[in-house]
Structure 1
Amino acid sequence: MSLLTARHPSRSDRPGPASAQGAGPGLLLALLATVVWSGSFVATRDMADSVPPVQAVFWRWIIALLAVAPFAARPFWRQRTLIRRHLGLTALASLSGVALYNTLVHQAGLTTSATNMGMIMAASPVIMAGYARLGGERLGTRRVLGTAIAVLGVLLLVGKGSLTVDPSAGDLWMFAAALCFASYSALLKRRPAEIDQLAFLAATFALGALMLAPAYAVSLAVQGGFPATPGTVGPLLYVGVLSSAVAFFAWNKAVSLVGAARAGAVYYLQPVCVALLSYALLGEELGLAGGVCMALVLGGVALSSAR
């Protein structure tokens, strides 16, 4: 709205009790998505040696699509014309957030720890800030300083306490995954409000599975399949049902209730959750240097997102 058309808000324009009442549930939904996503890094690392990355991601989205289908079928069919009209945006979101991002995360799990994966992903707001600056947004001193602190924490993390960075292959895969997640988040802001969240979710899941199908066929022919055991099926059900269907829906709903900035502040708890789960379930030690890096990453992203 320009200054020429601005007006004083009427009583109907002002935020009412509903918006205040939605803050609590919105933050709880953001926390739910963050904790569930933290567990997905542990599950991904746990099955890295038994399930090829492309096959794991393909079945993840097939399971996720089956999980949301009973709830998304009707709104998807009702809005099929609207979704087709915005197919380009939906396909780009699916490519970056469904197909590429998760494949890179599973690939990273082969050669880096779940703790490193969580902390590198926590620095993805740095890339989001870069997108915002390219879009003409002024970042401000606080945001630039917070971004610099977070970058320092990540550099110390991958350099194992030194600024002489010698990242593992898994760390590099996670940096690429963070870039894809930031791109997905930027595209998510452009989703038309009239498209139902479940319908949009189902569309991205279906497109992502289709994009992964050729790579899945090649992996199956070259690497062979994987055994269906509790050690492979259990993690796949977790990342398919909880990390994909439940967490994505909870996150999108949280953003609609409290906005991306407030939901994003909760997301910064992810490296703490990942480190605790990795220690409890995988026996990964964080150490003093890792704790310092975690404090820098969390402090930086919190400072850059504070209002």
Structure 2
Amino acid sequence: MGQGFLGYGSALLATVIWSGNFVVARAVAALIPPWQCNFWRWLVALAVILPFAWRGLRADWPGIRRHWAYLALMALLGVTLMNTLIYKAGQTTTSLNMALLVPTAPIVILVFSRLLYGEPITARRLAGMFLVICGVCLLVSRGDWDRLAHLRFTSGDVWALGGAFCFGLYSLFMRRRSHDVSALGFNVATFFLGLLFSLPFTVAEACLLPLPEPGPAVLISILYTGVGCSFLSFWLWTLAVDRIGPVRAGMVYYSLPLFAAAGSFLVLGERVTEAQIMGGCLVIGGILAATWPRHAASSTTKKGKTENADGTERDA
């Protein structure tokens, strides 16, 4: 009972902290460009995590060298691109729309699990994907279906979907993580490589655009996302998965839009429209239909099989 309470509480707190990232993306959109916002966020995260990981880096170093290509791909998806696209989205769309679109990543996982691993897409998953697509269309159109015909590919909703695509691939390839690199070593390596990949784009952006003024809003936002969203939430999520497993922890993650809606209303004063409510219900309902384990009481589905947080099956 105590372990379950700690696990669910940790997952919920991590989700609440992550939901603030979308409020931050909207709040600082006019104050700091996306590449610079992302770079400073992960630099803070790297500085915070290094003291905890330093002792184990010597043991992790052979594995890091051996799997450098995989770590580089994960860094590109999870550190360099994903949140940069979210911050870019924050310039032209609402924080709630971003929070509703990014959790479509499990659908990306289902599709690429089929393409890369040959895992079946069942009728239940197809129905869920259909609901998600309808919800995304409703969110992007804001309830005006004629808007879809004139949708520009530079809109914030499309950038947010790009962030969801990166997160989906990142989560999918996480299954290939070798255990000869610890979790802390994995994060140090991906944080560092992601920052390295971001550096030329960050420098170019700083040369082409006016430099941001380091005011309180910018500094607080970078500290919040660096310490909270990148470091603290990672530790809480690891604790949650250890206690309740990835499936149940993943279900808690789908409450993210609710907290993002509350944050955007309280902090930014954004109005929640009927189209957003309907679209969000379709997105969340479709994701749950596609990924909810067949036997919710247990993550074990078949003899010798267990179910991942993304709803796919793997050998136990």
Deviation of the 1:139 alpha carbon: 2.5
What's the CA shift for 1:258?
3.8
Q: How does 1:135-214 map to 2 (within 5 A)?
A: 135-164=117-146, 165=148, 166-167=150-151, 169-214=155-200
Distance across 1 between alignment mates of 2:38 and 2:151: 24
Q: Distance in 1 between matches of 2:185 and 2:13?
A: 21
Q: Give the 3 Å change call, closer, same or farther, for CA 28–175 of structure 1 in structure 2.
A: same
1:236 is the counterpart of 2:218: no
**What residue number does 2:64 align with?**
83
User: Which residue of structure 1 lines up, in the alignment, with residue 53 of structure 2?
Assistant: 72
- The alpha-carbon distance between structure 1 residues 139 and 253, as it changes in their structure 2 partners (threshold 3 A), is farther
Q: Distance in 2 between matches of 1:90 and 1:32?
A: 27
Q: Is the 2:21–2:225 contact (alpha carbons within 8 Å) kept by the matching residues of 1?
A: yes
Aligned to 2:255: 269
1:113 and 2:94 matched: yes
1:52 aligns with 2:38: no
Structure 1 residue 254 corresponds to structure 2 residue 223: no
Please say which of residues 207-216 and 243-252 is displaced more in the overlay. Answer: 243-252
1:124-159 Cα distance to aligned partner (Å, 9 max, x none): 211111112222112322222122112211111111
**Is the deviation greater in 296-305 or in 159-168?**
159-168
TM superposition score normalised by structure 1: 0.89
Moved more, 22-31 or 145-154: 22-31
* CA shift in 2, pair 1:241/1:257, >3 Å: same
- The structural deviation recorded for 1:252 is 3.9
Q: Amino acid of the residue matched to residue 271 of structure 1?
A: P
Partner of 1:125: 106
Cα deviation 1:55-86 (Å, max 9, x = unaligned): 11110111000111110111123211111111
Q: Which letter maps to 1:132? A: S
Q: Distance in 1 between matches of 2:207 and 2:182?
A: 38
Aligned in 2, Cα 1:211/1:275: closer, same or farther, shift over 3 Å?
same
Shift of 1:172: 0.9
Is the contact between residue 197 and residue 249 of structure 1 (CA under 8 Å) also seen in structure 2? no
The offset of 1:160, in angstroms, is 1.2
Identity value in percent:
37
Structure 1 residues 36 and 305, CA, compared in 2 at 3 Å: closer, same or farther?
same
The answer for the alignment partner of 1:225 in structure 2 is: 211
1:25 maps to what in 2? 6
Give, as a single letter, the amino acid of the residue that structure 1 aligns with 2:72.
A
Q: Which runs of 5+ in 1 are unaligned?
A: 1-19
Cα RMSD between the aligned structures? 1.7
Cα 1:21–1:140 shift into 2, 3 Å: farther
Structure 2: distance between partners of 1:39 and 1:243: 8
- Alignment counterpart, residue 62 of structure 1, candidates 35, 43, 47: 43
* Contact 2:60–2:180 (Cα < 8 Å) also in 1: no
Cα distance in 1, alignment partners of residues 73 and 4 from structure 2: 30
Give the distance between the partners of 2:60 and 2:274, measured in 1 at CA: 52
Of 261-270 and 93-102, more deviation after overlay is shown by 261-270
Matching residue's letter, 2:65: R
* Structure 2, unpaired ranges of 5+: 294-316
User: Does the 8 Å contact 1:49/1:110 carry over to 2?
Assistant: yes
* Cα distance, 1:65–1:252 mapped onto 2, change above 3 Å: same
CA contact (8 A) 2:72 2:193 kept: yes
Specify the code of the residue in structure 2 equivalent to 1:129.
L
Relative to structure 2, which stretch is displaced further, 160-169 or 86-95?
A: 160-169
* Paired residue secondary structure (1:40): helix
Distance across 1 between alignment mates of 2:132 and 2:244: 24
* 1:253 Cα deviation after fit: 4.2
TM-score, normalized by length of structure 2? 0.86
> Which deviates further from its counterpart, 157-166 or 135-144?
157-166
